[in-house]
Structure 1
Amino acid sequence: MIDPAPDQTPSFAAGISLGRRAVAEFVGTAVLAAVVIGSGIAAEQLSPGDIGLQLLENSTASAFGLAVLILAFAPISGAHFNPVVSLADWLGGRRRRSGLGTRELGAYIGAQCGGAVFGALLANAMFDRAAVQIATHHRVTGGHLLGEILAAAGLIAVGFAAGRHGHRVAAVAVATYIGSAIWFTSSGSFANPALTLGRMLSDSFTGIAPASVPAFVAAQIVGALAGLSLMTLLYRPAAGR
């Protein structure tokens, strides 16, 4: 997910073109959006009226799907699937002259947002709903925004630490964290501006009304910066290195 160690090579294979990495980010984010939204729609149909069971079904599918996608795409693009992860990678690499470059950051974020929108449309269509919908679930409260800050901070911290041990460890750690954060945060742990954009286009259990999106994205960015700051402090090289 993130390559924090100054003596490690990037998490994606050296020499892979930006175009191929952008395709991997588009496809991976699209499938992730389809998993998250599709499992939410399925949960509504399978367990009508039981919000707790719907959340269990959605969180289980989301965690398993994310783990598989990280394993599949990390060797190609690093498996970010999330603009705040890419932003943290870019910011974390400025001092070491590593990580994503500015042009790569723009390509990653564009691919992730496009993929999330495509995945949302695909999920809606799979369940015979109108492909383009506008969510009506308003989510912004002080508690929800605090939950998003915590969710994004934890995601970056876990990804930063686990990424030091390779993408297999990161896949398990990040997926497990997201699966649990869907339960322990009041916001449901969106923690991803691209998926937030995609979820705006599905009026389902996992949707978010357009009016709630700007505040959620702002909270996610704040949380990501907090998580990156903490991990930079904790993993700062010892004096003399």
Structure 2
Amino acid sequence: MSRALLAEALGTMLLLATVVGSGIMGQALSPDNTAVALLANAAATAGALYVLITILGPISGAHFNPAVTLAMKLHGGLDTRTTAAYVLVQCAGAIAGVLLAHAMFDLPLFQPGVRARTGSAQWLSEGVATFGLLLTILLGLRHRAQAIPALVASYIFAAYWFTASTSFANPAVTLARALTQTFAGIRPLDVPAFIGAQLIGAILALLVARILLTPATTPSPEPP
């Protein structure tokens, strides 16, 4: 358990350092081109996810995301104690990752987010992003378990571009990104609605996955 919790904390920390750090670097290199900054952010995040899931997956399952952990709990794969411990270290690791990114770029460590991310389009985007992520994981585990790192990385890279919210899809990520005023930031005021939409998306994905993964019943032959 201690190894798994360390893997979850470390993986989530490095993920957030990547998300925030690549956003800072992208804006620094192209201050007048948001598309380039977003591309750098998406590519770095997808690349980091592929590596982190590959190397830490065998130790903890590489959730790095309370929505994934809660879905696994409801799916029957985790007990309550493990679920709570995973969520706690994910949130702590995410916050540490934001602080690490700030330190690497010599920025103030604590800076509450100021970027407004609110409205029905943003909330719908977060629900869709999280729904797609969870469906990718749940179906991928059944059909292509070895491909999970590539599947998740590919989906997140795409979701950065097809969602209005740039696909947070992760309550721990959302919470931690409220602590930065950089490209990746979000106002603390907007966090609860984002997390609510993410959890709804995760639950819907779990329900749909159960339907899709339920074996079809074959009618019994009638007696002669």
What interval of TM-score do these two structures reach, taking the shorter chain for normalisation? Answer: over 0.9
Whether 1:203 and 2:181 are equivalent positions in the alignment is yes
Please state how far the C-alpha of 1:101 moved relative to its aligned partner.
0.5
- Secondary structure (helix, strand or coil) at the match of 2:108 reads coil
Within a 5 Å distance, the mapping from 1:41-190 to structure 2 comes to 41-93=24-76, 99-165=77-143, 167-190=145-168
Q: 1:166 to 1:26 in 2, by over 3 A?
A: farther
| 1:22-74 CA distance string (max 9 Å, x none) | 11100000000001111001111011010111111100001011010000110
Gaps of 5+ in 1: 1-17, 94-98
Name the counterpart of 1:37.
20
* Matched AA of 1:160: L
Between 1:229-238 and 1:137-146, the stretch displaced more is: 229-238
Distance, in Å, in 1 between the alignment partners of 2:177 and 2:122 is: 16
Distance, in Å, in 2 between the alignment partners of 1:183 and 1:21 is: 32
Name the counterpart of 1:9.
none
When the two structures are superposed, what TM-score results if normalisation uses the length of structure 1? 0.88
* Matched AA of 1:150: V
In the alignment, is the contact (CA less than 8 A) between 1:116 and 1:198 conserved in 2?
Answer: yes
Please state how far the C-alpha of 1:165 moved relative to its aligned partner.
4.4
Name the counterpart of 1:20.
3
Percent identity over the alignment is 46
- Secondary structure (helix, strand or coil) at the match of 2:194 reads helix
Which residue of 209, 216, 219 maps to 1:231? 209
Larger radius of gyration: 2
Please state how far the C-alpha of 1:238 moved relative to its aligned partner.
3.7
How many residues align? The count is: 218
* Matched AA of 1:120: V
| 1:57-100 CA distance string (max 9 Å, x none) | 1000010110100001100000000000000000011xxxxx11
Please state how far the C-alpha of 1:237 moved relative to its aligned partner.
3.1
Name the counterpart of 1:222.
200
In the alignment, is the contact (CA less than 8 A) between 1:70 and 1:167 conserved in 2?
Answer: no
Please state how far the C-alpha of 1:168 moved relative to its aligned partner.
3.4
Please state how far the C-alpha of 1:198 moved relative to its aligned partner.
1.0
Please state how far the C-alpha of 1:225 moved relative to its aligned partner.
0.5
Please state how far the C-alpha of 1:138 moved relative to its aligned partner.
1.0
After the TM superposition, which segments of 4 or more aligned residues of structure 1 sit over 6 Å from their partners? Answer: none
RMSD: 1.1
| 1:183-217 CA distance string (max 9 Å, x none) | 00001100000011111111111101100000000
| 1:145-182 CA distance string (max 9 Å, x none) | 00000000000000111122455300000110000000
